Amino acid sequence: MLYEQLIDKNVKCNACSHRCIITDGKRGICGVRKNIKGKLYSLVYGKAVGLAVDPVEKKPLFHFLPGKEVLSFGTVGCNFRCEFCQNSDMSQAPREQGEEAISGKEITGKEIVDYAVKNKIPMIAYTYNEPAVFLEYAHDTAKLAKKKGIKNIYVTNGYETKEALELMKPYIDAMNIDLKSFNDDFYKKTCGARLEPVLETIKLAKKMNFWIEITTLIIPDENDSEKELTQIAEFIASIDKSIPWHISRFFPMYKMQNKNPTSEEKLKQAYEIGKKAGLKYVYVGNIILEGKENTYCPICDNIAIERSKYELGKVNIKESRCIKCKRKISGIFI
């Protein structure tokens, strides 16, 4: 449990970059980490929500064991309050409805791992809500999974602290990190967070040698200006041009029911901006746009992996190399 005991039975939670100072009897911003008599407790440990088997492409991860299955789960609660959240019934319930809204299937990390082993599922993903808020549950499950040769995936908003990343470093193999905007005001107003910690997490995750991919949900009139999309693409390129960038189509959700879905033109523009910035792998999701889910060899432009709706078509990679020009395709393949 990442926390500090302070005076007067207060505690400081160090699981995420909010670093909440929580008084006795109260919960942190996430709604699921509670101070009980000067000790911090997870209220969601062993309470899984959304336990399901998905294609790894749905996380989305396109360069990490493509075509394989992943066992996914999360819990209730979140350290963000995104007005466009696609899983608000899970993520915001403890914040909006109180502690009585904390629920989930009682299942241990060992039982989750045993299920994956029995069903020959090679990966477990900590997803749906923010895994930093159920850090201990994720940690214990990932540690057991690692011993069984199962890969671990974090699908995150990028608000982990350095301490949290270091705790998970021995066990996490890949991360998909949301970069929701390049505007701090957007993060404060729309998500209840800040931009800079997310940028630092991306940099640190790369230094720690996690395989990382980045997702940006393009919301009309919120984060879709040419300037901002260029800033996002150029930031990713400054870290590593081989980091895949997933551009995701917005649909009206939660508190943004009045918005229109992202236009095809805007998604195509974002795709071209990513390419212009030098990114080798750019993808468009939540919509079928011909060719925009495929992996192309950055050298010869041959289709390395063909995709449609998370399903693979032809795979023209052998030993992580393009079969046409023999150049390496970045990622972890079998």
Are 122 and 193 in the same domain?
yes
User: Does residue 28 lie within any of the structural domains?
Assistant: no
User: Does residue 36 lie within any of the structural domains?
Assistant: no
User: Does residue 130 lie within any of the structural domains?
Assistant: yes
**Three-state SS at 157:** coil
Are 311 and 236 in the same domain?
no
Cis peptide before 60 (omega within 30 of 0): yes
Are 261 and 313 in the same domain?
no
User: Does residue 264 lie within any of the structural domains?
Assistant: yes
Are 172 and 305 in the same domain?
no
Q: How many domains does the chain have?
A: 2
User: Which structure tokens are listed for 151?
Assistant: 């890969």
User: Does residue 14 lie within any of the structural domains?
Assistant: no
**What are the residues facing 280 on neighbouring strands?**
none
Do β-strands 174-178 and 151-156 pair in parallel, antiparallel, or remain unpaired?
A: parallel
- pTM (2 d.p.): 0.96
Backbone angles phi, psi at 42, to 5 degrees: -90, 125
Are 324 and 227 in the same domain?
no
Are 286 and 305 in the same domain?
no
Contact at 8 Å (CB) between 245 and 202? no
Distance CA 213, CA 236 (A): 10
Contact at 8 Å (CB) between 202 and 239? yes
Are 230 and 328 in the same domain?
no
Are 74 and 95 in the same domain?
yes
Distance CA 224, CA 279 (A): 18
User: Does residue 23 lie within any of the structural domains?
Assistant: no
Split the chain (334 residues) into runs of 10 and give each run's mean pLDDT: 94 98 98 98 97 96 97 98 95 94 96 98 97 98 98 98 97 98 98 98 97 98 98 98 98 96 98 98 94 96 94 94 96 90
Report pLDDT for 231: 98
Q: Which structural domain, as residue segments, surrounds residue 276?
A: 44-293
Report pLDDT for 309: 85
Backbone angles phi, psi at 284, to 5 degrees: -115, 130
Distance CA 255, CA 232 (A): 24
Are 97 and 230 in the same domain?
yes
Do β-strands 11-13 and 3-5 pair in parallel, antiparallel, or remain unpaired?
A: antiparallel
Q: What is the side-by-side order of every strand in the sheet holding 123-126?
A: 105-106, 47-55, 69-74, 123-126, 151-156, 174-178, 211-218, 245-249, 282-285
